[in-house]
């Protein structure tokens, strides 16, 4: 009998849409718990589909999520976005009385569901570090990984003072992982002021009076049976942080891990990004990089991590020094490309949950990949993308159509 794996998606993202094919190819039966019309649901390689109303989950109606995990009994649950990560983390420790803003009651989670989630996520004591840029920076620094100088930003004056001390440009970031704009590069005081207003206002929304009233209304309508929004991050400290700007190319080590042990990984360096200001990779060069692999191994071990994840860096092109950027506790855009890079990420994870020995994998030579549709978003009309591989899902027509719809059309002048 093939082991089962459950993908949980609460946001409509491109990144995990190719993962079902890769997982099914190596021997998993793939289940999906998500909105029926989301991008991930367009994959033809899903064996079991469990429809979900994300709006109701955000309101605190969590019984459908708990029921699917209990009845489907997957060997692993994979949260595919930041909201899903927060939800499964909260549910995995719900026996301690999980609550969130507006929540009136703790979440009733059966022991079997908690066991499944803890097996899928690894050490729960590291959840705060996984979710926080500041804590992840401190962990990386303690492990001997290069970290740009930075500080917490409790108020704008702290950001202004840091920039005056270290000079422009500086990088302003949201402290916690969350959807939407998270990073802004600021070359002047005016840009810093605008970035602060944008990033802080988005974070402040969750704590505003109207939002608190909304939670209270939900709770009253449900006769105070809501669990609250367990998809939201909890934060008591500063909402933003600031770093000195480190010039270089974005680099990532995508990996799979089991109980703090790195199983397999892919080192990738960005050749092209889109949009340029955000630094999301659209054209990547896969390479063998022992420094990235060792840094990822140390972070995985410190966090006791299980599942798919990634460590982001900035690589200085002159010195080739790596600077830690963030830890991603979820699948990255390269998670399905392991075979191309000579290290399938899912195969050793399948062996770990099945108690078998994984098939040895040989390192592949260096190669370049144009991610679809990211590189087509960057340049829809490019005749030659300068990549050895075009990562298009030609064998999944429905998903291909859905991904093509994400490419913006150019309007003739």
**Residue 114 lies inside a defined structural domain of this protein:** yes
**pLDDT above 60: residue 100:** no
Number of domains within the chain: 2
**Residue 209 lies inside a defined structural domain of this protein:** no
**Residue 223 lies inside a defined structural domain of this protein:** no
- The candidate with the shortest Cα–Cα distance to 159, out of 172, 169, 140, 176, is 172
Q: At what angle do helices 111-121 and 63-72 cross, to 10 degrees?
A: 80
End-of-domain residue from the set 122, 140, 158: 122
First to last CA, the chain: 58
- Greater model confidence, 209 or 291: 291
CATH number at residue 310: 3.30.470.20
DSSP 264: E
Q: What tokens does 218 get?
A: 């939900």
Percent of the chain with pLDDT over 90: 68
For residue 275, say if its preceding peptide bond is cis, omega within 30 degrees of 0: yes
**Residue 131 lies inside a defined structural domain of this protein:** no
What is the tens place of the pLDDT at every residue in 124-176? Answer: 999 999 999 999 999 999 999 999 999 999 999 999 999 999 999 999 998 87
What is the tens place of the pLDDT at every residue in 327-365? Answer: 999 999 999 998 887 778 999 999 999 888 776 666 677
262 lies in the same domain as 398 = yes
Confidence of residue 205 (pLDDT cuts 50, 70, 90): very low
Average pLDDT value for residue range 86-92: 92
- Greater model confidence, 214 or 27: 27
Helix (H) or strand (E) holding 367: strand 367-371
- The candidate with the shortest Cα–Cα distance to 26, out of 384, 348, 388, 386, is 348
Angular region, 238: left φ>0, alpha ψ -120 to 50, beta rest: beta
**pLDDT above 50: residue 413:** no
Lowest mean pLDDT of 176-190, 224-238, 394-408, name the range. Answer: 224-238
Q: Are 226 and 103 in contact (CB under 8 A)?
A: yes
**pLDDT above 70: residue 321:** yes
Q: What tokens does 299 get?
A: 């972070």
Mean pLDDT is highest, among 70-79, 95-104, 219-228, for 70-79
114 lies in the same domain as 252 = no
**Residue 410 lies inside a defined structural domain of this protein:** no
pLDDT for 174: 87
Q: Is 351 helix (H, G, I), strand (E, B) or coil?
A: helix
pLDDT for 333: 93
pLDDT for 274: 87
pLDDT for 339: 80
Q: Are 110 and 70 in contact (CB under 8 A)?
A: yes
**Residue 42 lies inside a defined structural domain of this protein:** yes
Confidence of residue 253 (pLDDT cuts 50, 70, 90): very high
Domain that holds residue 12: 4-122
What is the tens place of the pLDDT at every residue in 32-86? Answer: 999 999 999 999 999 999 999 998 888 888 889 999 999 999 999 999 999 999 9
**pLDDT above 50: residue 204:** no
pLDDT for 410: 58
End-of-domain residue from the set 68, 97, 122: 122
**Residue 154 lies inside a defined structural domain of this protein:** no
CATH number at residue 39: 3.40.50.20
End-of-domain residue from the set 122, 153, 180: 122
pLDDT for 201: 74
Which residues, other chains included, contact 151 with Cβ-Cβ below 8 Å and sequence gap of 6+? 158, 162, 241, 242
* Number of residues in the chain: 413
109 lies in the same domain as 256 = no
């Amino acid at each position: 009998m093939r082991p089962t794996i459950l993908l949980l998606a609460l946001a409509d993202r491109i990144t995990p849409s190719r993962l079902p094919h890769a997982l099914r190819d190596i021997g998993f039966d793939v289940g999906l718990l998500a909105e029926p019309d989301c991008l991930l649901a367009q994959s033809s390689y899903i064996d079991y589909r469990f429809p979900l109303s994300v709006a109701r989950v955000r309101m605190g109606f969590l019984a459908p999520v708990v029921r699917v995990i209990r009845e489907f009994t997957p060997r692993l649950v994979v949260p595919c976005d930041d909201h899903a990560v927060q939800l499964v983390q909260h549910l995995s420790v719900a026996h301690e009385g999980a609550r969130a803003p507006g929540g009136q009651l703790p979440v009733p989670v059966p022991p079997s569901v908690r066991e499944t989630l803890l097996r899928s996520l690894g050490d729960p004591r590291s959840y705060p570090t996984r979710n926080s840029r500041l804590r992840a920076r401190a962990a990386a620094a303690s492990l001997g990984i290069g970290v740009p100088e930075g500080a917490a930003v409790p108020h704008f004056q702290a950001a202004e003072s840091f920039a005056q001390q270290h000079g422009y440009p500086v990088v302003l970031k949201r402290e916690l992982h969350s959807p939407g704009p998270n990073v802004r590069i600021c070359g002047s005081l005016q840009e810093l002021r605008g970035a602060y207003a944008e990033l802080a206002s988005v974070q402040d929304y969750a704590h505003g009076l109207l939002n608190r009233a909304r939670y209270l209304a939900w709770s009253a309508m449900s006769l105070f049976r809501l669990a609250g929004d367990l998809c939201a991050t909890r934060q008591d400290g500063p909402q933003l942080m600031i770093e000195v700007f480190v010039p270089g190319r974005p680099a990532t080590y995508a990996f799979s891990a089991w109980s703090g042990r790195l199983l397999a990984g892919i080192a990738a360096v960005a050749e092209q990004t889109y949009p340029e200001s955000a630094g999301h990779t659209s054209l990547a060069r896969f390479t063998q990089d022992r420094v990235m692999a060792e840094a990822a191994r140390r972070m995985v071990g410190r966090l006791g991590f299980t599942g798919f994840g990634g460590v982001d860096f900035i690589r200085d092109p002159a010195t080739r020094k790596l600077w830690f950027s963030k830890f991603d506790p979820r699948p990255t855009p390269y998670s399905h490309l392991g075979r191309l890079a000579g290290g399938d990420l899912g195969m050793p994870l399948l062996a770990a949950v099945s108690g078998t020995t994984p098939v040895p994998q040989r390192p592949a030579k260096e190669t370049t990949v144009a991610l679809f549709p990211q590189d087509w978003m960057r340049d829809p009309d490019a005749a030659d993308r300068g990549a050895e591989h075009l990562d298009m899902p030609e064998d999944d027509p429905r998903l291909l159509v859905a991904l093509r719809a994400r490419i913006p059309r150019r309007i003739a002048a």
